[in-house]
Amino acid sequence: MGEAREVLDRLTRAATEEHSIEAAVHCYADEAVMVTPDAGQVRGHDGIEDYWRPLLEAIPDAGYESLRKYETGDTAIDEGWLTGTHTRPMRLPDGETVPPTGRQIRLRECDVATVRDGRIREHRVYFDQAEFLEQLGLAPSQPPA
């Protein structure tokens, strides 16, 4: 196992087993960039913490079910399911706060992390934002394609 794989695994454990925002943010370099479908580009520890905190606080039982793990050079890729229950208020990237819905989520997602010197430099997160909102009951269900 290379450095990229070890660091992305450490991030996943911090967020979904330890439920530690501080440990998750510590996986990133000071100048790291994170790109997500809901918040766009966030930079640095403060921006990354501001992204993770509302999600992990709103879904305190967040878990991750891995489907596939890859590593090539300085990049690790994970594909899996984010799971949990929305039991606390959640602040969305636009500043709106969503009260707890009590609903379960099971959201397919993919992470691509580039690591150098033991820290994530760039992290791209891919998930279907509309599906996330549907599962929380905040958007109408879409008919199957």
Report pLDDT digits (tens) over 63-82: 999 999 999 999 999 999 99
Q: What average pLDDT does the segment 99-114 reach? A: 97
113 pLDDT above the threshold of 90: yes
Q: What is the pLDDT of residue 142?
A: 66
**3-135 under CATH 3.40.50.300, yes or no:** no
Using CA atoms, how far apart are residues 107 and 131, in angstroms rounded to an integer?
7
Using CA atoms, how far apart are residues 98 and 54, in angstroms rounded to an integer?
10
- Confidence (pTM): 0.90
Total residue length of the chain: 145
Confidence bin at 91 (pLDDT 50/70/90): confident
108 pLDDT above the threshold of 70: yes
Give the rounded percent of residues in the chain with a pLDDT score beyond 70.
Answer: 97
Q: Are strands 63-72 and 75-85 parallel, antiparallel or unpaired?
A: antiparallel
User: How many contiguous H segments (helices) and E segments (strands) does the chain have?
Assistant: 4, 8
Q: What is the pLDDT of residue 93?
A: 74
Nearest by Cα to 34 from 43, 46, 23: 43
Instruction: State pLDDT tens for residues 43-65.
Output: 999 999 999 999 999 999 999 99
Q: What average pLDDT does the segment 72-98 reach? A: 93
Alpha helices in the chain (DSSP H): 3-16, 21-26, 44-58, 129-135
Instruction: State pLDDT tens for residues 15-29.
Output: 999 999 999 999 999
Confidence bin at 13 (pLDDT 50/70/90): very high
